C-alpha cells in the first residue's frame, strides 16, 4: 500500500510518500528512489547501510556511547554527536534569539517559530505544520497507522520518537534531572511540566471563553472543547467521539481490546495509559512531589 501526501510549500506542491507492506513495514522519505535494504526488527524502519541500522538500534536498547566533551551529553551514534557539536560551535545560530542549532535544516525549522510560517498542509483537515515530518506524523491520526511497536509490551506508536521514550518505562532509564529537586524524568519535556506543577504556580495559558488559567497548553485545549462542544477524536470501530485523545485510547483498549495494557515492572499491575502508570510508580519510589502551599505537607 502506498499513501501519498501532498504538502504545500512556498506556494508549490511537493509529494511525500509513505510506503507500507503486509508486514507493517513503513519508511518515510521523499521520492528519491534510493534502496533501503537494512531492516530494524523492532520498529521495521529501513536504512541504506548496516552502520546506519546499527546506530539506529541503539535507540531501542538505550545505549549511548558517544559523549560530548563540552556538556557530557550522550549520543547513540557518532553522527548525532557530530551534529550536536555544531551547537557549541555556534555554527548555525539564529539571528533573532541567538539559539544555536545542530544543522542548517533545524535552524530553518527554528526560524519558523519566529515567523509563524507553516508551509506544510494536511489535505484531509487542512491543519498546517512547520515541519514536513510533523505532517507525516499527523497524517497517521487519519489513517490510524502505528508502525513502531515496543518489543517488550507490543504497544504501538505512530512515531519512532514516542517508541524510544516509551521503552524507558521498561528500562527505568531517567536521564533528565530537575535542577531544583534532582528528580529524574525519562523525557526532557516532562521537566518543564514538573517545574510548573511542583515548583511554580505559573499558569500562562488562559481560556479565550471564560478566562480560566492553565499550566499547560494541552490542558487548555482539552478545556476549550467544553465550550465549543468539539469532539475531534473518533473511534473507527463504533464512531463514538471524544474530546481528548487519552479518552479515545482508553476506549479502544477497554471496549475493543485494541492496544496493550501498560504493566508496572515492580508489581505487574496493569494500566490503560502511561500517566496512570507514572502516578502508580511514585508510590513504589516513595516520591511525593506535590506540596501544600500553606503548610508544606
pLDDT, the chain, mean? 76
Residues 254 and 184 in one domain: yes
Transcribe 7-27 into DSSP letters: EEETTEEEEEEEEE-TT--EE
The pLDDT value recorded for residue 15 is 38
> pLDDT tens across 67-94, in order?
777 776 777 677 778 777 877 777 888 8
Instruction: Compute φ and ψ for 52, nearest 5 degrees.
Output: -65, -40
Same-domain check for residues 133 and 102: yes
Q: Is residue 131 domain-shared with residue 228, that is, in the same domain?
A: no
Is 214 in the same domain as 258? yes
Whether residues 14 and 110 fall in one domain:
yes
User: Is residue 231 in a domain?
Assistant: yes
Q: Could you please report the per-residue DSSP string of 271-295?
A: ESSHHHHHHHHHHHHT------TTT
Residue 89 in domain: yes
Kindly state whether residues 39 and 166 are assigned to the same domain. Answer: yes
Does residue 151 sit in the same domain as residue 23? yes
Q: Which domain holds residue 47?
A: 2-173
Whether 237 and 202 map to the same domain: the answer is: yes
What is the total count of domains within the chain?
A: 2
Alpha carbon distance 211, 205 (integer Å): 9
**CA 101 – CA 93 distance, rounded (Å):** 6
pLDDT tens-digit readout, 226-270: 888 888 888 888 888 888 887 888 888 888 877 667 788 888 888
Q: Is the pLDDT of residue 31 over 70?
A: no
Amino acid at each position: 500500500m502506498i499513501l501519498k501526501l501532498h504538502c504545500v510549500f512556498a506556494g508549490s506542491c511537493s509529494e511525500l510518500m509513505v510506503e507500507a507492506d503486509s508486514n507493517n513495514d513503513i519508511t518515510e522519505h521523499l521520492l528519491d528512489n534510493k534502496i533501503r535494504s537494512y531492516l530494524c526488527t523492532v520498529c521495521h524502519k529501513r536504512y541504506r547501510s548496516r552502520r546506519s541500522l546499527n546506530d539506529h538500534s541503539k535507540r531501542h536498547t538505550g545505549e549511548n556511547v558517544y559523549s560530548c566533551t563540552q556538556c557530557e551529553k550522550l549520543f547513540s551514534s557518532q553522527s548525532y554527536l557530530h551534529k550536536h557539536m555544531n551547537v557549541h560551535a555556534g555554527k548555525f545560530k539564529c539571528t533573532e534569539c541567538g539559539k544555536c542549532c545542530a544543522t542548517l535544516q533545524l535552524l530553518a525549522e527554528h526560524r519558523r517559530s519566529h515567523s509563524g510560517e507553516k508551509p506544510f498542509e494536511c489535505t484531509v483537515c487542512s491543519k498546517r505544520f512547520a515541519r514536513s515530518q510533523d505532517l507525516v506524523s499527523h497524517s497517521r491520526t487519519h489513517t490510524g497507522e502505528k508502525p513502531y511497536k515496543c518489543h517488550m509490551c507490543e504497544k504501538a506508536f505512530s512515531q519512532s520518537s514516542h517508541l524510544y521514550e516509551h521503552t524507558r518505562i521498561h528500562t527505568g532509564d531517567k536521564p533528565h534531572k530537575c535542577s531544583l529537586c534532582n528528580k529524574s524524568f525519562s523525557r526532557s519535556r516532562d521537566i518543564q511540566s514538573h517545574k510548573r506543577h511542583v515548583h511554580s504556580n505559573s499558569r500562562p495559558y488562559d481560556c479565550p471563553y471564560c478566562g480560566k488559567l492553565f499550566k499547560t497548553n494541552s490542558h487548555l485545549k482539552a478545556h476549550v472543547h467544553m465550550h465549543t462542544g468539539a469532539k475531534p477524536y473518533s473511534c473507527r470501530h463504533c464512531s463514538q467521539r471524544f474530546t481528548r485523545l487519552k479518552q479515545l485510547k482508553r476506549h479502544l483498549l477497554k471496549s475493543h481490546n485494541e492496544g496493550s495494557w501498560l504493566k508496572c515492572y515492580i508489581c505487574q499491575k496493569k494500566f490503560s495509559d502511561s500517566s496512570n502508570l507514572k502516578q502508580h510508580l511514585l508510590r513504589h519510589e516513595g516520591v511525593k512531589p506535590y506540596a501544600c502551599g500553606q503548610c508544606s505537607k
